[in-house]
Amino acid sequence: MKLKRTHNCGELTNNNNGETVRLSGWVENYRDHGGVAFIDLNDRWGTTQIVFHPDIAGEHHKIAHTLRSQDVISIEGKVSARPEGMANARLGTGEIEVYISDFELLNKSKTPPFEINHSGETNQEVLLKHRYLDLRSRKMQKNLIFRSELTNKIRNYFNDQQFVEIETPILTRATPEGARDYLVPSRTNPGKFFALPQSPQLFKQALMVSGYDRYFQIARCFRDEDLRADRQPEFTQVDIEMSFVDQEDVMSVTEGLMAGLMKDMFSKDLTLPLPRITYDQSMLEYGCDAPDLRFGLKIKDLSDVFVNTGFSVFKNAVKNGGAVRSINLKGAAEKLSRKDLDDMTPFAARFKAKGVAWIKMTAEGPQSPIVKFFSEEESAELYKRMEAETGDVLIFLADKEEVVCQSLAALRLDLGKKLGLIDENELNFTWVVDFPMFGKDHKARPTSLHHPFTAPKTEDLDRMEDDVFDVKTNAYDLVLNGCELGGGSIRIHRKDVQERVFRILGIDEEEARDKFGFLLDSLDYGAPPHGGLALGLDRMAMLFLKTPSLRDVIAFPKTQKATCMMTEAPGNVEEEQMEELFIASTVEDEE
Amino acid sequence: MKLKRTHNCGELTNNNNGETVRLSGWVENYRDHGGVAFIDLNDRWGTTQIVFHPDIAGEHHKIAHTLRSQDVISIEGKVSARPEGMANARLGTGEIEVYISDFELLNKSKTPPFEINHSGETNQEVLLKHRYLDLRSRKMQKNLIFRSELTNKIRNYFNDQQFVEIETPILTRATPEGARDYLVPSRTNPGKFFALPQSPQLFKQALMVSGYDRYFQIARCFRDEDLRADRQPEFTQVDIEMSFVDQEDVMSVTEGLMAGLMKDMFSKDLTLPLPRITYDQSMLEYGCDAPDLRFGLKIKDLSDVFVNTGFSVFKNAVKNGGAVRSINLKGAAEKLSRKDLDDMTPFAARFKAKGVAWIKMTAEGPQSPIVKFFSEEESAELYKRMEAETGDVLIFLADKEEVVCQSLAALRLDLGKKLGLIDENELNFTWVVDFPMFGKDHKARPTSLHHPFTAPKTEDLDRMEDDVFDVKTNAYDLVLNGCELGGGSIRIHRKDVQERVFRILGIDEEEARDKFGFLLDSLDYGAPPHGGLALGLDRMAMLFLKTPSLRDVIAFPKTQKATCMMTEAPGNVEEEQMEELFIASTVEDEE
């Protein structure tokens, strides 16, 4: 076989004119122009036009017309500048073509089940089953090569900053993230199971106790959850942990990474420090803890305005401890039809909202089914607060606070898109900080909002037991275009504080010992103050590439049922294998 | 808390004399000299001597004697050149000390269960249970930081060579390496199981079909085997695959990596290309396929010399299809006692050898229980072939070839060490090439010596069905100091050849479809010629660091029973978890 290429298919230019070269790759686009045959030869680097001229190709000329798309060939030929006016500016190699003088067929291809560079409307199952062909598309090659470069830049950044890359186990114990674990039965420990890690959290904290000071890993993590479009059973996270640091140190290292990536990959200068918004402010102004700041449409609270209003929907919402909030859709009066406004109610109903009220500010005055219920003072205060002007549309939610937040957050995003307020080319970063330490479970008992190792803010330490839901943590999420890229926190390094937090969470001593015994022990032996962060690499690649699906940045993704269509994983196993592992299937044999 | 360090504990020198600095770290070695207290402050980067002088430290001076080893503190103080003659040359910071003026205790430590920088004789269970403390030792910090640097250099090498780093799944199907798989029951596919990959073999071949051309990954792999000292249930391999290449291309890329590593990490110039030895030659001259070439003691075959000898042990061995082979222990007559020579027989018995014969070449002539059986011609030919001289010792094995090889290989290594022939500082690389394509199973049927995707040598293709055990492959192992660092092969890229190999291996069409369906399919759609290699990263780090155990280069290793003493993995799981996964434990409940 003649394999030794002199060049790849993406690098020949006029500078190579006259050189004899050998190329290998995949055939595409056979054309015949008056007895001269042309094909495009593809590889990862590009496309080169190959010419089979009867006077030069000799016996190989006959072969040209037998070639089919995706055949693999190796050719030798002379580089020739294309005739005046025939250059193809869309092609890196568009200045030249190669006149073939030697040829070898390395492998034939059957007709693929879809166009390699398909439009995206091809049946997903067929694409996933033949993933090795879909991965040959220009789009997927671009995406995976981008991801590879991204990964390398991230690693080099942390190496340059004296982070130590340390691999932590995949076969381990249940970790504290609280999602469902993947389990692995042990053959050598009958009846026992490994869990695949949901994160390296406990290990990276152990490494801080060990004095590694700055740890990083690009770590595979696993969650056996029901999958959405932006979830996969296994995912990759950029995982870091640092000692002798406060929140600003971790955020600053992360910002340095993002600024470097923006500069290297998009030639963009990121202004540092990145904006910070508190959790409380984000919930109030954007209705969520991952605000999309590429556009305005801020939410404003009007609850105090409508405490005693004649409009009972608003009044009752406030009286029952809920809220009345509004967004001013600046200048949208012309753009939104009556139907658009009415459709907001069923839209918000998905979040259990009973209705969406609106006021259209027209030249003839406010148009709305609800203004007639307001007092003059209420109207005046409302318009003032909302900075309402002719041409604006105000929309209102009045409900339990959670419903108001969720409905307005979703409406805001939807309207941002509809009103064309979002610059799709922008990459807008923000930090969300000062998270509450505890959330409430369905019985209103405290639960960890992050994980039980997150440290309370020092100033809140003394009132942790009394004002539990008011306690804030040094936790921080990095948000890009309204998606959480990742987050982290300063951890508890003192055993007494950790034990108090476990008590508040209703984790008794035995359970704490059983689940986190070594972590508790390690706090007794010189644990330094430490904190860290984890960023979703898959999601980062997806957002940077502005592609809608994680499948576009993962080589071999799984379906929503967690199957791999290509390998047909998961598969059947033999009875004996299960016996060796001390397990039995509870699924009835169908034979 | 005062966290913001100005320096780490390893960087202050006379150049910092007079500066006020803040350091954080772990306390070691409290000493009091006439009312002035000294401690060593440690971190990952080094050790700095801290002085509590009553006139300078003020109130903090009292604290000094309350400090215990491994307490975590933050201090501020002035850097001061040590007095003439008091510098400590063994310490990077030995020119200076820091006179403390401010102090904060960040965390107390209990007395650790062992000295952090222990001698290595500490109970292994205690060390593994408190792994976070053992990892704080200078030795483990050095090892893991080395491994991190090694990993980064490897990645950068492949990135520079235009390899694309692509992550392949951990939740997948059984792979063809043939060791026992770790299994993961699927919740969403009742009765089915994922397998953890023994290697990314099938995926990397798929990626070649996809046109990525050059793939690499530092990949976690899993084998549920009974563990030896140099095995772990999960291990890390440097995994590469290339398209349009032959064996020399893959070897050459690998050699470039090794030369770069030797230069960067050991300032050593590696002569390229590395030596190559064929499998047949290695088996003959070293008795194994991973020869340690740091020393001689080559094995020589004498079977033809003793075809008709009067010494029936030798004669019968040859008659029964076995071999007579010998090593000349050059100049060892003085060094080996009669007992040393006699002890070789029980040593070789471990490999089923019935005995080890020997001849001591003394000034008075050959001393040996066996020379009397040899004819004059046999003796003459023997001495000539073995280049035997006065002072040498010849040792002999006569048995089935396998037994001869294994026994002499082990004796050679043992004697190489005993006779002081091994330079422990040498890093000696060699390639072993031209492996047979097939081995024999217990019923003498052909099995894959590598895996079923390894390509036969083109010249052997035509006789694959007829002379099956003579067929050689383009497979290659990289050996360092007698340990296999890794290996690879050129793969089959033609479907007809792959199908023939499956037939020879007794894998019928249904089984082939079931196990490797997508791979077979992919060969139909433009599979390029390709090949690759995998190197064990753990073992590489171990050999480069000249440490005897994989545990010295893995942060959180498992025991021989595949348990993690620190996290107590594997652990128990709840009944409901198993139910969700459609499995039941077959272990009787002991309560």
Query: Which of chain B's residues have a Cβ under 8 Å away from the Cβ of A164?
Result: 44, 144-145, 148
- pTM, two decimal places: 0.95
To test the contact with chain B by mutation, choose from A138, A563, A585, A588 the residue with the greatest count of B C-beta atoms within 10 A, namely A585
pLDDT for B176: 63
B residues 453-492 near A, CB within 8 Å? 458
Q: Answer yes or no: is pLDDT of B174 > 90.
A: no
Same domain flag for A338 and A390 = yes
Chain A residues in contact with B212 (beta carbon < 8 A) = 44, 135, 141, 144
Nearest CA in chain B to A205: B132
Last residue of a domain, which of A83, A107, A131?
Answer: A107
Determine which of A442-451, B92-101, B371-380, B522-531 has the lowest per-residue pLDDT on average. A442-451
CB count within 10 Å of CB A442 equals 6
Q: Which amino acid is at A294?
A: R
Query: Are B166 and A151 within 8 A, CB to CB?
Result: no
pLDDT score, position A59: 85
Asked whether residue A268 falls in the same domain as residue A148, the answer is yes
Residue A146 and residue A125: Cα distance in Å, rounded? 25
Whole-Å CA distances, A338 to A334, A344, B29: 10, 10, 79
Residues B288-303: b if buried by 16+ CB within 10 A, e if exposed:
bbbbbbbbebebbebb
Of B1, B517, B585, the CB nearest to A582: B585
pLDDT at A177: 62
How high is the pLDDT of residue A568? 94
- A494 in B contact zone (CB under 8 Å): yes
Sheet arrangement for strand A483-490: A164-165, A214-222, A234-243, A530-536, A483-490, A475-480, A429-433, A276-278
Average pLDDT (B262-272) is 96
Place of tokens 């051309």: B213
What angle, rounded to 10 degrees, do the helices at B537-545 and B138-160 form? 120
Residues A396 and A437 in one domain: no
Q: Residue B128 falls within a domain, yes or no? A: no
State the residue for tokens 């390094």: A493
Phi-psi region of A459 (alpha: psi -120 to 50; beta: other; left: phi over 0): alpha
Paired tokens of B273 = 């290309």
Q: Are residues A144 and A183 both part of a single domain? A: yes
- The burial of B515, by beta-carbon neighbours within 10 Å (0-12 exposed, 13-18 middle, 19 or more buried), is given as buried
Out of A203, A517, A571, name the one closest to residue B193 (CB). A571
The secondary structure of residue A520, as a DSSP letter, is H
Confidence of residue B234 (pLDDT cuts 50, 70, 90): very high
With beta carbons under 8 A apart, name residues in chain A contacting B566: 206, 518
Q: Given this model, what pLDDT does residue A227 score? A: 73
Q: Which pLDDT score is estimated for B57?
A: 83
Q: What's the rounded Cα separation, in Å, for the pair B104 and B25?
A: 11
Interface test with B, best of A45, A583, A588, A589 (most B CBs within 10 A): A583
Closest approach of A210 to chain B, Cα-based (Å) = 4
How far does B19 lie from chain A, in Å, by closest CA?
21
* Residue A224 marked ligand-binding: yes
**Do the chains contact at A584 and B586, CB–CB below 8 Å?**
yes
What's the pLDDT tens digit per position in B405-417? Answer: 999 999 999 999 9
Nearest CB among A181, A233, A244 relative to B5 is that of A244
Task: Give A295-342 as a DSSP string.
Answer: S---EEE-GGGGTT-S-HHHHHHHHTT-EEEEEEETT-TTT--HHHHH
B385: CATH: 3.30.1360.30
Residues A452 and A393 in one domain: no
Give the pLDDT confidence score for residue A412 in this predicted structure: 98
Instruction: Check whether residue A518 and residue A485 sit in a common domain.
Output: yes
A272, A145: one domain: yes
pLDDT tens digit string along A349-385? Answer: 999 999 999 999 999 999 999 999 999 999 999 999 9
Q: Does B363 touch chain A (CB under 8 A)?
A: no
By CA distance, what is A585's nearest residue in B?
B583
Residue A291: Cβ within 10 Å count: 24
Residues of A whose CB is below 8 A from B517: 568
- Set of chain A residues whose Cβ sits within 8 Å of the Cβ of B173: 564, 567-571
Chain B: residue whose CA lies nearest to A157: B152
Q: pLDDT tens across B192-224, in order?
A: 999 999 999 999 999 999 999 999 999 999 999
Instruction: List the single residue in A136, A213, A555 with the smallest CB-CB distance to B166.
Output: A555
Three-state DSSP string of A370-417: CHHHCCHHHHHHHHHHHCCCCCCEEEEEEECHHHHHHHHHHHHHHHHH
What's the rounded mean pLDDT across residues B11-27? 97
CA–CA separation, B7 and A530 (whole Å): 17
Judged by CB atoms closer than 8 Å, whether chains meet at A528 and B106 is answered as: yes
pLDDT score for B591? 47
Q: Are residues B449 and B505 in the same domain?
A: yes
Q: Which two tokens stand for residue B62?
A: 């009292």
pLDDT category, B589, cuts 50, 70, 90? low
pLDDT at A591: 47
Percent of chain A with pLDDT over 70: 98
What CATH number is associated with residue B544?
3.30.930.10
* Identity of the residue in A169, A236, A563 whose CB atom sits nearest the CB atom of B167: A236
On chain B, the residues whose CB falls within 8 A of the CB of A41 are none
Integer distance in angstroms from the first to the last C-alpha of chain A?
A: 49
Cross-chain Cβ contact A185/B189 below 8 Å: no
Q: Which residues of A touch B171 (CB under 8 A)?
A: 182, 222, 233-234, 558, 562, 564, 569-570
Give A 72-91 residues with CB within 8 A of chain B: 72, 74
Which token pair is B300? 């020589």
| B99 lies in some domain | yes
The average pLDDT across A392-415 equals: 97
B147 and B270: one domain? yes
Query: Is residue A537 marked as binding?
Result: yes
Whole-number percent of chain B with pLDDT over 90: 85
Q: Are residues B403 and B443 in the same domain?
A: no
Mean pLDDT of all residues in A494-502: 93
> Does residue B192 form part of some domain?
yes
Total domains in the fold of chain A: 3
Q: By residue range, what is the domain housing residue A252?
A: 140-276+429-552
User: CB–CB of B184 and A196 under 8 A?
Assistant: yes
Question: For residue A394, which phi and psi values (nearest 5 degrees)?
Answer: -105, 135
* pLDDT tens per residue, range A456-473: 999 999 888 888 999 999
- Partners of residue A173 in chain B, C-beta under 8 Å: 564, 567-571
The 10 Å Cβ neighbour count of residue B139 is 15
Of B140, B165, B210, the CB nearest to A135: B210
Binding-face residues of B in 120-179 toward A, CB within 8 A: 129-133, 135-136, 140-141, 144-145, 147-148, 151-152, 155-156, 159, 164-174
B363, B341 Cβ separation under 8 angstroms: no
Residue A590 has pLDDT above 70, yes or no: no
Contact indicator for B245, B161 with CB cutoff of 8 Å? no
Residue B322 shares a structural domain with residue B386: yes
| Band of pLDDT at residue A589, cut at 50, 70 and 90 | low
Residues 197-226 in B contacting A (C-alpha not used; CB under 8 Å): 202-203, 206-207, 209-213, 220, 222, 224
Q: What is the pLDDT of residue A438?
A: 92
Q: What is the pLDDT of residues A173-202, one digit of tens each?
A: 976 667 899 999 999 999 999 999 999 999
Q: Identify which of A122-126, A573-577, B292-296 has the greatest average pLDDT.
A: B292-296
Could you tell me the pLDDT band of residue B103, with boundaries at 50, 70 and 90? very high
* Residue after which a domain boundary falls, among B88, B107, B126: B107
Asked whether A244 and B74 are in contact (CB, 8 A), the reply is: yes
Average pLDDT of the segment spanning A414-426 = 95
pLDDT digits (tens, 9 = 90+) for A3-47: 789 999 999 999 999 999 999 999 998 898 888 999 999 999 999
Give pLDDT, residue B512. 87
Residue A448 domain-assigned (yes or no): yes
| Residue A381 confidence (pLDDT) | 96
* pLDDT at residue B177, as a whole number: 62
Give me the pLDDT at residue A408, please: 98
Is A198 a known ligand-binding residue?
no
Both B398 and B492 in one domain: the answer is: no
Q: Would residue B59 count as lying in a domain?
A: yes
CATH number of the domain enclosing A52: 2.40.50.140
Residues of A in contact with B9 (CB under 8 A): none
| Whether B232 contacts chain A with CB within 8 A | no
Chain-wide mean pLDDT for chain B?
Answer: 94
The contacts of residue B220 (CB under 8 Å, 6+ apart) are A167, A170, A220, B170, B234, B235, B236
Domain end, chosen from B61, B88, B107, is at: B107
| Partner residue facing B152 (CB), from A25, A159, A249 | A159
Other C-beta atoms closer than 10 Å to the C-beta of B401 total 18
Determine the Cα–Cα distance for residues A485 and B504; give it in Å rounded to an integer: 51
CA-CA distance, A391 to A331, in Å (whole number)? Answer: 5
Burial zone of A47 (CB within 10 Å; 0-12 exposed, 13-18 middle, 19+ buried): buried
**Does A488 score more than 70 pLDDT?**
yes
Q: What single-letter amino acid sits at A137?
A: S
In a domain, B580, yes or no: no
| Separation between Cα atoms, residue B9 and residue A296, nearest integer Å | 48
pLDDT recorded at residue A442: 86
Q: Does residue A315 lie within any of the structural domains?
A: yes
Domain annotation covers residue A569: no
pLDDT in the model for residue B35: 87
- Please give the C-alpha separations between residue A465 and each of A91, A171, A260, A446, A460, in angstroms, as whole numbers: 67, 36, 42, 11, 10
**Partner A, chain B 532-561, Cβ-Cβ below 8 Å:** 554-556, 558, 561
